[in-house]
């Protein structure tokens, strides 16, 4: 799809967030996925997809890969190769289970991992998470400051600061300076500005070492940490409950993820209107949450049965406002929007006895459209042409290209235009005539010439 102009201009370099939850390669047989790929095959599968994902990301975008212990460490090395080791951002641990498995042989595994990489670390700006009751439990206001509750913040630092060694005098004449290998974290000028603005706390007696006052009303969200507990973002049980409520027990998806987990990822790594991609759609959680949160989204699923049973019905419910679970209430979602479904067709090539043939369905307009997509031409039907790429035109002949066909096509070219002429066969003299009448134009025979390296896209 990235080589098809109509889609490339909307996706190449336009995706802000990629979240993928690929098969974990655990050796288990899930109902909806073959999750027992040989290790090297799994890594090759992932590498191919990560290389394409890299092309899709916007300059300040990020990719989040959801894995467990089976392949996490190996995938991190692979992502170092694809994105660069310096673009590693974090390895987030998600508590997917909050009950101990006491029958486990050695350890009860309760976590998955989210490998987070940026396309360009220097340009990545991630959002913050919401403040919690626990994070705000140390706010107080013992001096009745009219700006409201505040908490103490250390005014010293362990690293050397150019203007970080000086004495300060407290309200009662006490002199203070950082002890040991500590420095003031602000300059003397800034310290005095904090004093004037009543942003220093010298203790109830006014004689203790000073701290800075940080007001609750002035603080934004929290910097995300790398441990996400089940009470913050949900767990496997919550995820299965969400899917069960949507589809009853007639259709139970084996490996869903909770909407709260995706809400946190989407909120941290994208803004409303951004494009979110998930190329392992499954039950459609990523797309559902992205839609509810006002993002544009693209999701891909290779199994038609999963699309029909889970992905499409779920997204229809979101659009119609019939999905009232998950994060619907928390994000204020009601209904609206829409989506379209594109189905990848079967290959136009058949292989018989080691030889490649065009499929029977590759005729007329269908043949022309798929050749245009394969060669990277924008579809543009203007007989005898079916595509355009700058000053190059594409003409696809559902039959044999002979001299008369060549002359007819060349007569329709505009000034300075050239043509790529594709046919299912060609007479011996057709190519020479094309070169003489239109230097720079090319003749291609399908499928032979379309299978050559550098031609197939």
* Domain end residue (candidates: 282, 301, 331): 331
At residue 439, does pLDDT exceed 60? Answer: yes
Is the link from the previous residue into 384 a cis peptide, with omega within 30 of 0? yes
Q: What is the percent of the chain with per-residue pLDDT over 90, rounded to a whole number?
A: 70
233 shares a domain with 318: yes
pLDDT of residue 30: 47
For residue 342, being part of any structural domain is answered with no
246 shares a domain with 106: yes
What's the structural domain count of the chain?
Answer: 3
Termini Cα distance of the chain: 9
* Domain end residue (candidates: 178, 199, 218): 218
Q: How confident is the model at residue 322 (pLDDT cuts 50, 70, 90)?
A: very high
234 shares a domain with 212: no
Say which residue the tokens 């899917």 belong to.
243
Q: To the nearest 5 percent, what fractions of the chain are helix, strand and coil? A: 30, 25, 45
Give the mean pLDDT of 35-44: 75
103 shares a domain with 9: yes
Pairwise CA distance, residues 227 & 222, whole Å: 13
**Whole-prediction pTM:** 0.78
353 shares a domain with 267: no
- Residue 412: name the closest of 448, 380, 444 by CA: 380
- Residue 90: name the closest of 211, 225, 220 by CA: 225
Q: What is the percent of the chain with per-residue pLDDT over 70, rounded to a whole number?
A: 94
- CATH number for 312: 3.40.50.150
Residue-wise pLDDT for 61-110, tens only, equals: 999 999 999 889 999 999 999 999 999 999 999 999 999 999 989 999 99
Pairwise CA distance, residues 202 & 187, whole Å: 18
At residue 7, does pLDDT exceed 80? Answer: no
pLDDT of residue 454: 46
* Domain end residue (candidates: 168, 194, 218): 218
Q: How confident is the model at residue 456 (pLDDT cuts 50, 70, 90)?
A: very low
**In 3-state terms, what secondary structure has residue 287?**
helix
pLDDT of residue 35: 55
At residue 224, does pLDDT exceed 80? Answer: yes
Residue-wise pLDDT for 155-201, tens only, equals: 999 887 778 889 999 999 999 999 888 999 999 999 999 999 999 99
Contact indicator for 60, 123 with CB cutoff of 8 Å: yes
- List of residues 6+ apart from 250 with CB closer than 8 A: none
Q: In this structure, are strands 168-169 and 175-176 parallel, antiparallel, or unpaired?
A: antiparallel
Contact indicator for 285, 259 with CB cutoff of 8 Å: yes
Token code pair at residue 361: 């369905």
442 shares a domain with 389: yes
Give the mean pLDDT of 247-262: 85
| Domain with 240 in it | 5-127+223-331
pLDDT of residue 170: 96
Residue-wise pLDDT for 261-289, tens only, equals: 999 999 999 999 999 999 999 999 999 99
């Amino acid at each position: 799809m990235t080589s098809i102009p109509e889609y490339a201009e909307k996706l190449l370099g336009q995706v802000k967030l990629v979240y993928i939850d690929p098969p974990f390669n655990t050796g288990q047989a899930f109902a909806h996925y073959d999750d027992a790929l040989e290790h090297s095959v799994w890594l090759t599968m992932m590498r191919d997809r990560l290389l394409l994902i890299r092309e899709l990301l916007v300059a300040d975008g990020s990719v989040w890969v959801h894995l467990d212990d089976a392949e996490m460490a190996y995938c991190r090395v692979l992502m170092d190769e694809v994105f660069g080791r310096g673009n590693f951002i974090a390895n987030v641990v998600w508590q997917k289970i909050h009950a101990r498995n006491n029958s486990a042989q050695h350890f009860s595994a309760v976590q998955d991992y989210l490998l987070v990489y940026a396309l360009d670390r220097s340009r990545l700006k991630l959002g913050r998470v919401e403040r919690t009751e626990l994070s705000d439990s140390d706010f107080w206001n013992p001096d009745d400051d009219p700006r409201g509750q505040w908490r103490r913040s250390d005014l010293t630092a362990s690293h050397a600061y150019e203007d970080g060694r000086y004495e300060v005098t407290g309200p009662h004449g006490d002199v203070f300076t950082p002890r040991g290998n500590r420095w003031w974290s602000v300059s003397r000028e800034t310290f005095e500005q904090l004093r004037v603005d009543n942003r220093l706390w010298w203790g109830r007696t006014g004689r203790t070492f000073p701290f800075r006052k940080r007001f609750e009303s002035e603080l934004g969200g929290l910097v995300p940490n790398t441990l996400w507990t089940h009470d913050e973002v949900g767990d496997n049980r919550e995820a299965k409950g969400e899917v069960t409520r949507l589809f009853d027990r007639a259709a139970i998806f084996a490996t869903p993820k909770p909407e709260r987990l995706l809400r946190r990822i989407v909120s941290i790594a994208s803004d409303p209107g951004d494009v979110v991609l998930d190329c392992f759609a499954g039950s459609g959680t990523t797309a559902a949450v992205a839609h509810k949160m006002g993002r544009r989204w693209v999701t891909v699923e290779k199994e038609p049965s999963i699309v029909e049973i889970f992905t499409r019905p779920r997204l229809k419910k979101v659009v119609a406002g019939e999905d009232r679970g998950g994060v619907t209430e928390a994000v204020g979602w009601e209904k609206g929007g829409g989506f379209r479904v594109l189905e990848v067709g079967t290959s136009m090539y058949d292989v018989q006895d080691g030889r490649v043939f065009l499929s029977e369905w590759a005729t007329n307009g269908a043949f022309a459209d798929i050749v245009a997509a394969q060669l990277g031409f924008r579809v543009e039907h203007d007989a005898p042409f079916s595509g355009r790429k700058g000053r190059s035109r594409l003409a696809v002949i559902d039959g044999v290209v002979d001299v008369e066909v060549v002359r007819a096509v060349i007569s329709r070219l505009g000034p300075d235009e050239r043509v790529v002429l594709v046919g299912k066969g060609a007479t011996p003299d057709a190519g020479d005539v094309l070169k003489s009448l239109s230097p720079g134009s090319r003749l291609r025979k399908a499928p032979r010439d379309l299978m050559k390296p550098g031609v197939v896209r």
